[in-house]
Structure 1
Amino acid sequence: MYHHTQSDYETCSYRLLFLPTGEWLCPPNSFKCRNGPCINSSLVCDGNIDCLGTWVDEDGCPFSCSNVEPRCECRDTQINCTGLGLKEVPPDIEEEITWFHMGSNYLNVTLNEDSFVMLDRLLYL
């Protein structure tokens, strides 16, 4: 049985080790993609998909889903623009959004029947 040293991990930080128990093990400071390989931990939640096919390195990470209103925080298909003093719905929100948290804003003057027409998957407002 071969024992790995710290230098083994440093020189090949993306190597995926297969243990006799049938489990996969990544070196320290790395993240295991669902189907392998290991990626450096600094690549998790960096806005780029590094775990091709599964995207798990970006799952659950906050992201800006509006170029017009970058203060809104997004997680998965939810956007939170609570308490930002908005006077209108940001116009370029991702169409995949299903939950929209908009409390404590000033939208009552500008809302109309077309305000959310681009968000046809919206379940919660």
Structure 2
Amino acid sequence: MNIDSKKFKKLLQGHILVKELVSQSSLERTWVEVKLSENDRLAYPLRTPPNAMLGGSVYEQACSPEKASFKLRYATFSASDIANGFDPNYDKVGPYIDIPSTSALEDYFVRENLDLEGFVDSGLTDYPM
């Protein structure tokens, strides 16, 4: 995993990154989600109103890779619910897996044959979470 990549920097800034996986059924869509643990997110450095949209700001801070811990989970949804814009069924959303460090995340990605460069910002996909 390249800790100097744009994707890894986005992860350290608190963005949720997802990758769509091949589902076991053509009737379902499955994603893996990775994000920075809530305890590692840095506060925005300037005073802002509640719920201010701060994404993409040049002032957006990032957690250091040495202090970062992560959460990862798998989620499967009905393809027809997503295609029709219905509220998804959350029965197949897995629990978060706590990953305590950058090196542990890298080990997990190697073991699961995942590549961070294949992940995208969750807001740019059909990911219903």
Question: Which has the greater radius of gyration?
Answer: 1
Q: Give the structure, 1 or 2, with the largest relative contact order (CA under 8 Å, sep 6 or more).
A: 2
TM norm. shorter chain > 0.5: no
Which structure shows the bigger proportion of residues in helix conformation? 2
Which structure shows the bigger proportion of residues in strand conformation? 2
Q: TM-score, normalised by structure 1?
A: 0.22
Q: TM-score, normalised by structure 2?
A: 0.21
